[in-house]
């Protein structure tokens, strides 16, 4: 149905490009864009700058043209000039189907962004991005709203699960590769939410305040690296304000940093309902998206009036249009698709591999992998007999396979549509039964703690599944597991000393029972193949290799914002969110000493052991680090050696400067070489990256707090243009 809209015979006149590159003889995207734009009427130009959200929502009337499917965004094309319609879909974790309103349209559901990040494997991120791009194209979408790149600044942020953790290098590399994968399929990818959209509470009115230079060294660096690597066609600006100005009307950010310093050539689309006035155009916004969510269609009649009376510069409108077109042409998003079946089985393998490689073994005293001799296993909680949890909001995918289990969390309107806890039908219990035919597995929901404890006493071991739903537009007020699950785990551990905990969470959680359980596995939201991936890791069919992309704090006591700004206040209360930690996000703050955290950034155990040689470093203009890693255990496994800058000019500092995922057979070794991006050594001052001259110490480690002996080098002073 969707395909027919963009390219199908029913709507040929609407969208099929009339002037292809071959016809015009112009293949350079800038030249093509300029040529098409020059031939447009003002109405055609303005028409490309404003979109609707083609979703029928009570109270938010919108004219949805016939044939346009329910999806995040739609903008008609200009058929006479070969300009295609823009049909966009959310797609951070797979192609979405908002509130399942496109009946029967399912997609491959990847694990959450945090799971993708936890693989520390940019190649896998690229495969995942390509998989989503291929499905989008097969379904007729030419623009994807994937690419969440906000750094985790608050472990309570309800959207952290969509993002890639707390480190700029990790986030930048992973998002960049995912975008590359998507765009290679001829679909524009978007990086979002620009910028410092650090919490969902009061997301429309929260004012993120931060030193502008510190912002360059942290959240903006993640975007900068992601944009350099992936060259996304679009950037989506955020709901929040940044240092007093709305992110989508923020001239210093959009005109200054993005389009100025970075020379970004694509277009800036607004988040849905983030535009407050027509003059956002002059501040750097190119397109108003989902316009029925704004107070006005600012980029429609008011823009036309401004053009007519000369108050809006014509050149700015032309520039906005050209930016959109050049991205569409550069990526090939104007090319008609041939109806193609989706490789459902192949794509499921991508989802499975990502889940397997993203699961993090946090603690293990030797009980895992599960002994083949275990006879009676009690599995408790987390809907584990049915499936695995997913995160809520606009990134929610309707997975392939049987119908998901939906638990309504209440709420009205758009918020109500998003507030649904959705379990994908991928049962860890079923997968464990297949993997362990010798064992008797019994499942208990854990509904009655007392009854379940009695069952636990009689079993050889207990595996408790604990889940915590997170979703868009809502943060968690605390790090606690909800609905008494901490008490359930404590009771199981009290009844049976062989208790293992599997977490399905979109954020770090507190673990008051940590000392009483024998193993803890963080499975995130593991996607449509999650049940199998969890069973693979528990049984040892897969040797875990995920590493934490975020710090798990012990508590919120030392958090820069112990109470969430704006929590509990009426919606759209103006609040400042002071990011006083500056660029010292997550593990970069405090050095985040081992005793201040439950589990450090970068942490993750394996069923084998890896040995590291001494680190060697060479300095001068460019720092290069080298070390050899060996698998000293008796199983194949992958490790992620991480290189950190630990001292600069005599001062302690902690920044991830390199990482690599290395797969090794028992006894095998590999030398890893990492060239350090000078921006990771520098401070951002007076509009430049400045690498101070001096002695720099680097260390290789298994996490941000588990580091080997440092190697020192002298580095020459250097300035790098932004
Ligand atoms: C979200 C965006 C999303 C858009 C369209 C907004 O509420 O913040 O991430 O792409 O909706 O669904």
Please work out whether the CB of residue 272 comes within 6 Å of at least one atom of ligand 1: yes
Q: Are 265 and 33 in contact (CB under 8 A)?
A: no
Q: What's the gap in Å between 541 CA and the centre of ligand 1?
A: 38
> Tell me: the pLDDT tens digits for 321-350?
999 999 999 999 999 866 679 999 999 999
- The closest residue, in CA terms, to atom 8 on ligand 1 is 271
Determine the pLDDT at residue 591: 57
Nearest Cα neighbor of 150 from 52, 247, 67 is 247
> What is the enclosing helix (H) or strand (E) of 598?
strand 597-599
Query: Cα separation of 401 and 349, whole Å?
Result: 14
Of the candidates 722, 597, 585, the residue with the CA atom closest to the CA atom of residue 656: 585
Q: How far is the CA of 138 from the centre of ligand 1 (A)?
A: 22
pLDDT at position 419: 85
Residue located nearest, by CA, to atom 5 of ligand 1: 72
pLDDT tens profile 225-274: 999 999 999 999 999 999 999 999 999 999 999 999 999 999 999 999 99
The model's confidence at residue 541, banded by pLDDT at 50, 70 and 90, is very high
Ligand 1 midpoint to CA 584 (Å)? 28
Instruction: Average the pLDDT over 630-641 and give the result.
Output: 98
Whether residue 231 has its Cβ less than 6 Å from ligand 1:
no
DSSP β-ladder status, 624-631 and 683-685: unpaired
Does the pLDDT at position 116 exceed 60?
yes
Which residue is it, tokens 């295609």?
Answer: 84
Q: Is 63 a catalytic residue?
A: no
* Ligand 1 center–CA 272 separation, angstroms: 6
CA dist., res. 657 & res. 681, Å (int): 8
- Dist. CA 1–CA 551, nearest whole Å: 44
pLDDT at 613 over 80: yes
698-718 mean pLDDT: 95
Least Cα distance to 529 among 341, 358, 340, 342 occurs for: 358
Structure tokens given for 632: 């000293």
pLDDT band at 470 (very low <50, low <70, confident <90, very high): very high
Q: What is the mean pLDDT of residues 529-554?
A: 97
Distance (Å) from CA 87 to ligand 1 centroid: 14
Confidence at residue 415, expressed as pLDDT on a 0 to 100 scale: 72
Smallest CA separation from ligand 1 atom 2, residue: 271
pLDDT surpasses 90 at 383: yes
- CATH class, 608-720 region: mainly beta
Measured between alpha carbons, how far is 481 from 598 in angstroms, rounded to an integer?
Answer: 15
User: What does pLDDT average to over the chain?
Assistant: 94
Query: How close is the Cα of 528 to the center of ligand 1, in Å?
Result: 22
User: What are the extents of the domains in the chain?
Assistant: 2-343, 354-387+426-542, 608-720
d(CA 97, CA 104): 9
Helix (H) or strand (E) holding 651: strand 651-659
Tell me how crowded residue 406 is: count the other CB atoms within 10 A of its CB.
Answer: 11
Which architecture, in CATH terms, is 354-387+426-542?
Answer: 3-Layer(aba) Sandwich (3.40)
- The SS3 of residue 627 is strand
Which numbered atom of ligand 1 lies nearest the CA of 145? 10
Reported as a single tens digit per residue, the pLDDT across 663-685 is 999 999 999 999 999 999 999 99
Ligand 1 atom, smallest distance to 238 CA: 8
Mean pLDDT of 187-199: 98
% of the chain surpassing 90 pLDDT: 90
Structure tokens at 287: 């397109």
Angle between helices 449-458 and 485-495 (to 10 degrees): 30
Fold of 2-343: TIM Barrel (3.20.20)
Q: Say if CB 491 and CB 452 are below 8 A apart.
A: yes
Question: Beta-carbon neighbour count of residue 557 at 10 Å?
Answer: 8
The residue whose CB lies within 8 Å of the most ligand 1 atoms, and thus the one to mutate among 73, 190, 195, 272, is: 272
- Structure confidence by residue, pLDDT tens digits, 576-598: 999 999 999 999 986 556 678 99
- Residue 395 CA to ligand 1 center (angstroms) comes to 8
Helices (H), 419-484: 428-435, 449-458
Residue 590 is predicted with a pLDDT of: 60
Q: What pLDDT does 372 receive? A: 79
pLDDT over 80 (residue 7): no
Catalytic residue (one of 167, 271, 286, 677): 271
The DSSP string of 495-513 is H-S-EEEEEEESS----TT
- In this structure, are residues 606 and 361 in contact, taking their beta carbons and an 8 Å threshold? yes
Angle at 643 between CA 360 and CA 583, to 5 degrees: 85
pTM, two decimals, is: 0.96
- Answer whether 359's CB lies under 8 Å from 522's CB: yes
Could you identify the residue written with the tokens 């975008």?
Answer: 179
Residue-level pLDDT at 646:
96
Question: Tens digits of per-residue pLDDT, 390-401?
Answer: 999 999 999 999
Confidence of residue 8 (pLDDT cuts 50, 70, 90): very low
Q: Using a 6 Å cutoff on CB, does residue 90 contact ligand 1?
A: yes
**Structure tokens belonging to residue 279:** 């003059």
Q: Where are the beta strands (DSSP E) in 483-588?
A: 499-505, 519-522, 552-553, 575-578
Q: Among 72, 132, 234, which is best to mutate for testing ligand 1, by the most ligand atoms less than 8 A from CB?
A: 72
The 10 Å CB-count burial string (b at 16+, else e) for 461-499 is bbbbbbbbbbbbbbbbeebebeeebbebbbbbbebbebb
Q: Which residue has the tokens 């001096």?
A: 694
Q: Which pLDDT score, from 0 to 100, does residue 722 have?
A: 85
Cα distance between residue 614 and residue 671, in whole Å = 11
Ligand 1 near 192 CB (within 6 A): yes
Instruction: Please tell me if the CB atom of residue 200 comes closer than 6 angstroms to any atom of ligand 1.
Output: no
> What's the rounded mean pLDDT across residues 490-515?
98
Question: What is the rounded CA–CA span in Å between residue 32 and residue 26?
Answer: 6
More confident residue, 481 or 1: 481
């Amino acid at each position: 149905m969707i395909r027919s809209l963009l390219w199908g015979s029913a709507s040929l006149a609407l969208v099929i490009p009339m002037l292809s590159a071959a016809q015009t003889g112009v293949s350079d995207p800038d030249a093509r864009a300029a040529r098409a734009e020059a031939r447009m009427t003002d109405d055609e130009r303005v028409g490309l700058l404003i979109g609707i959200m083609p979703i029928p929502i009570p109270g938010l009337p919108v004219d949805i043209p016939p044939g346009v499917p329910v999806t995040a965004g739609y903008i008609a094309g200009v058929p006479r000039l070969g300009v295609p319609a823009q049909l966009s879909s959310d797609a951070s974790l797979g192609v979405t189907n908002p509130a399942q309103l496109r009946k029967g349209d399912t997609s491959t559901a990847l694990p959450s962004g945090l799971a993708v990040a936890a693989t520390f494997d940019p190649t896998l991120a690229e495969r995942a991005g390509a998989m989503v791009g291929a499905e989008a194209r097969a379904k007729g979408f030419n623009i994807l709203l994937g690419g969440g790149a906000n750094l985790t600044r608050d472990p309570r942020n309800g959207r952290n699960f969509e993002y890639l953790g707390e480190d700029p290098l990790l986030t930048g590399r992973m998002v960049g590769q995912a975008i590359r994968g998507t765009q290679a399929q001829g679909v524009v990818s978007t990086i979002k939410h620009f910028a410092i959209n650090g919490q969902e509470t009061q997301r429309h009115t929260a004012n993120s305040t931060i030193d502008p230079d510190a912002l360059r060294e942290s959240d903006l660096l993640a975007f900068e690296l992601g944009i350099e690597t992936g060259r996304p066609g679009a950037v989506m600006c955020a709901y929040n304000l940044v240092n007093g100005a709305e992110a989508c009307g923020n001239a210093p950010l959009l005109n200054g940093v993005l389009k100025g310093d970075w020379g970004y050539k694509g277009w800036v689309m607004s988040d849905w309902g983030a535009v407050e006035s027509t003059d956002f155009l002059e501040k750097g916004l190119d397109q108003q998206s989902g316009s029925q969510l704004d107070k006005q269609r600012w980029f429609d009649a008011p823009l036309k009036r401004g053009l007519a009376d000369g108050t809006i510069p014509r050149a700015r409108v032309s520039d906005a249009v050209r930016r959109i077109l050049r991205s569409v042409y550069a990526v090939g998003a104007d090319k008609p698709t041939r109806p193609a079946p989706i490789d459902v089985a192949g794509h499921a393998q991508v989802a499975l591999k990502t889940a397997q490689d993203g699961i993090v073994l946090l603690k293990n005293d030797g009980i895992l992998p599960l002994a083949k001799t275990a006879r009676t296993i009690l599995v408790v909680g987390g809907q584990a007999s049915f499936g695995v949890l997913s995160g809520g909001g606009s990134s929610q995918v309707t997975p392939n396979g049987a119908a998901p289990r939906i638990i309504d969390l209440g709420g009205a309107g758009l918020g109500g549509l998003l507030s649904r806890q959705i379990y994908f039908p991928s049962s860890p219990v079923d997968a464990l039964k297949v993997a362990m035919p010798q064992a008797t597995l019994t499942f208990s929901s854990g509904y009655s703690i007392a009854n379940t404890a009695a069952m636990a006493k009689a079993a050889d071991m207990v595996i408790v599944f604990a889940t915590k739903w997170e979703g868009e537009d809502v943060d968690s007020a605390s790090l606690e597991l909800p609905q008494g699950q901490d008490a359930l785990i404590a009771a199981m551990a009290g009844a049976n000393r062989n208790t293992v905990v599997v977490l399905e969470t979109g954020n770090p959680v507190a673990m008051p029972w940590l000392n009483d359980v024998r193993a803890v596995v963080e499975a995130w939201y593991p996607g449509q193949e999650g049940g199998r991936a969890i069973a693979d890791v528990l049984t040892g069919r897969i040797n875990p290799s995920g590493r934490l992309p975020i710090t798990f704090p012990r508590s919120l006591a030392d958090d820069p914002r112990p109470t969430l700004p704006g929590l509990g206040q009426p919606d759209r209360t103006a609040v400042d969110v002071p990011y006083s930690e500056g660029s010292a996000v997550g593990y970069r703050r405090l050095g985040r000493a081992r005793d201040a955290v439950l589990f450090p950034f970068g942490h993750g155990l394996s069923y084998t052991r890896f040995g590291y040689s001494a680190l060697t470093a060479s300095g001068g203009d460019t720092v290069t680090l080298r070390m050899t890693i060996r698998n000293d255990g008796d199983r194949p496994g992958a490790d992620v050696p991480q290189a950190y800058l630990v001292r600069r000019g005599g001062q302690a500092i902690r920044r991830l400067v390199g990482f690599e995922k290395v797969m090794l057979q028992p006894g095998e070794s590999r030398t890893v070489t990492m060239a350090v991006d000078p921006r990771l050594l520098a401070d951002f001052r007076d509009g430049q990256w400045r690498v101070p001259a001096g002695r720099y110490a680097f260390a290789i480690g298994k996490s941000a707090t588990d580091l080997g002996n440092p190697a020192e080098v002298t580095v020459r002073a250097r300035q790098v243009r932004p």
